[in-house]
Amino acid sequence: MAFDIRRGLLRAWVLLSFLWVLYVGVLGFREVKEEWAPGIEQAAIIDGDNMAAVPCEAAPTGHTKIEGFGRTYCLLPVLEFRRQNIEYRDLDYNEVIRRSYQRVGLHFGWRYDSTKMLAAFALIPPILLLALGAAVVWVIRGFRRA
């Protein structure tokens, strides 16, 4: 009984690649889902003011309350946020906003960064494995008699 090494390795690669992509997708689904949700960047600017996100317990009454992305948080103007949080006084507006959103568990930054990283993490290992398998088959063929 002769085995077809190429076909067997290719089928194993297809199966392992599918399982790998599925595994990575399940692990990164929540972060990617939040990143694709509309409105995070738009919520950071209200009436021309740059807004920082804070837990609603830390916000004075009367500030904008946002319910979305599985969380509830409030928005404060960056100047007011800096007055309340000394450690943020020397940071620029974008860094204050980014860090404040991280504090309440939201992604704020370049859109789709997590999606790009997750796609690379899901696709690069199977491609490298395919190249390794092709190289192994090429080496094995070199030992065949003509």
- Where does 69-112 have alpha helices with state H? 78-84, 93-103
Longest dimension (CA), the chain: 84
Decide: pTM greater than 0.75.
Answer: no
Rounded to whole angstroms, the Cα distance separating 27 from 32 reads: 10
pLDDT at 128: 95
Quick one: which H or E segment has residue 72?
strand 71-77
Task: Annotate 107-126 with DSSP letters as a single string.
Answer: --SSTTHHHHHHHHHHHHHH
- Looking at per-residue pLDDT, the higher value among 125 and 103 belongs to 125
Q: Which two tokens stand for residue 38?
A: 């509309």
Residue in this structure with the two tokens 């992604």, named with its chain if needed: 107
| pLDDT over threshold 80, residue 5 | no
Q: For 20-45, how does the pLDDT look when each residue is reduced to its tens digit (9 = 90+)? A: 999 999 998 887 777 776 555 555 55
Q: Where are the domains of the chain?
A: 34-109
- Looking at per-residue pLDDT, the higher value among 14 and 42 belongs to 14
